[in-house]
Structure 1
């Protein structure tokens, strides 16, 4: 087994252990899906699969949402782990840079990636936030934070800074308008945009049905019954 293969194997085992019992939708299986999708996209973009796989594996180990909003926690955790397994310095910095830039930071906040490796990992992470799995993850996370499903009197907010985005705590339905429905048009790669299109439409259909059911008590023409 090569040194790189050993580092990848140790990193997978580490991430699996770190995410044991995670119930917010940021669990090992999320990481597993992101890794698979990122490697799939990497083939089209001629991205370094070693860097892509490490960044995908480590991208949620210390997410700011679970570390008091500290956006340096993730890159720091990645550096510490990769140094422990003797990854080379260039790889450590590349992976840490991807993780630092990866997250959505608000509707009005650009999050460009500087390398093909970063572009495909970001796309893969965002693809897992939309569609059927994205819907399930949104409600799992909202429930873990005690957020209501929906409040018609609480309008979505198009955050213009990361600080405002981090401090937001509205109903889960708002999250679709504040983030999830915006992701299709923020994909970096053509392949991700194609995949995102059907997932985006699925979310639109879900929200339309949600509205019909939510408003059923006030309507006699919702088609049910």
Structure 2
């Protein structure tokens, strides 16, 4: 649940931040602005349903900026830590209190396992779960395939394993409730991918070469 309503000045800053994030994510693929807004929507939905008190400004800003560290990088390695620098500078310039900035920065840092720091506060766990939910289902799996290197078999198998782990790592029962249908869709897609991969491998091993029954010397 939300511990308080947003103030007018907070809403105005969120609107400006949203425009900033939209512009920065305009040319990204896997982590585009549509993904960012999907995470914001999931985060709001989860926060309304859980008993933990959530600060709405910290939550929305954390969700908006959660993938800003992907900008300017291909691999996204430690993008949570990279994004923390951008977030701190932006919010400091906007006049946000230092203690609030610290909390938003922690949301950005801790939403991803690549930072090596698990979520602790409710806002951190909610954004972590919201990000995970958008990785599930058909759209989530397709997003996960964009920009990956390696053979199609390697990429798909890696995405399959990641999808299963993503659902298992969700913190809140509400997140799991929202993710159940997406997880079923993910499992159906996984089964079809696996069947297609198996057929592909069999076809490679069983080439229908045009040879005679008896090979003459």
TM-score, structure 1 normalization: 0.77
Cα distance in 2 for residues equivalent to 1:187 and 1:91: 25
Please state whether the residue corresponding to 1:114 is helix, strand or coil.
Answer: coil
Cα distance in 1 for residues equivalent to 2:189 and 2:106: 35
Instruction: Indicate if the aligned counterparts of 2:78 and 2:114 stay in contact, CA closer than 8 A.
Output: no
The alpha-carbon deviation at position 211 of structure 1 amounts to: 2.0
| Pairing 1:119–2:128 present | no
In the other structure, the counterpart of 1:223 is: none
The alpha-carbon distance between structure 1 residues 15 and 189, as it changes in their structure 2 partners (threshold 3 A), is same
In the other structure, the counterpart of 2:159 is: 175
In the other structure, the counterpart of 1:209 is: 192
Unaligned runs of 5+ in 1: 152-170, 220-225
The alpha-carbon deviation at position 97 of structure 1 amounts to: 0.9
In the other structure, the counterpart of 1:198 is: 181
The alpha-carbon deviation at position 188 of structure 1 amounts to: 1.1
When the two chains are superposed, the root-mean-square deviation of aligned CA atoms in Å is: 2.2
User: Matches of residues 17-28 of structure 1 in structure 2 within 5 Å?
Assistant: 17-23=23-29, 25-28=30-33
In the other structure, the counterpart of 1:69 is: 77
In the other structure, the counterpart of 1:88 is: 97
Unaligned runs of 5+ in 2: 1-6, 204-217
Cα distance in 1 for residues equivalent to 2:179 and 2:113: 16
| Pairing 1:103–2:103 present | no
In the other structure, the counterpart of 2:88 is: 79
| Pairing 1:141–2:144 present | no
In the other structure, the counterpart of 1:150 is: 153
Q: Deviations over 1:143-185 (max 9, x none)?
A: xxx433214xxxxxxxxxxxxxxxxxxx2421321x2211112
Cα distance in 1 for residues equivalent to 2:156 and 2:94: 39
In the other structure, the counterpart of 2:36 is: 31
The alpha-carbon deviation at position 216 of structure 1 amounts to: 2.6
Cα distance in 2 for residues equivalent to 1:207 and 1:27: 24
Instruction: Indicate if the aligned counterparts of 2:36 and 2:67 stay in contact, CA closer than 8 A.
Output: yes
In the other structure, the counterpart of 1:54 is: 61
- Structure 1: which 4+ aligned runs deviate by more than 4 Å? none
TM-score, structure 2 normalization: 0.80
Please state whether the residue corresponding to 1:174 is helix, strand or coil.
Answer: helix
Q: Which has the larger radius of gyration?
A: 2
Please state whether the residue corresponding to 2:146 is helix, strand or coil.
Answer: helix
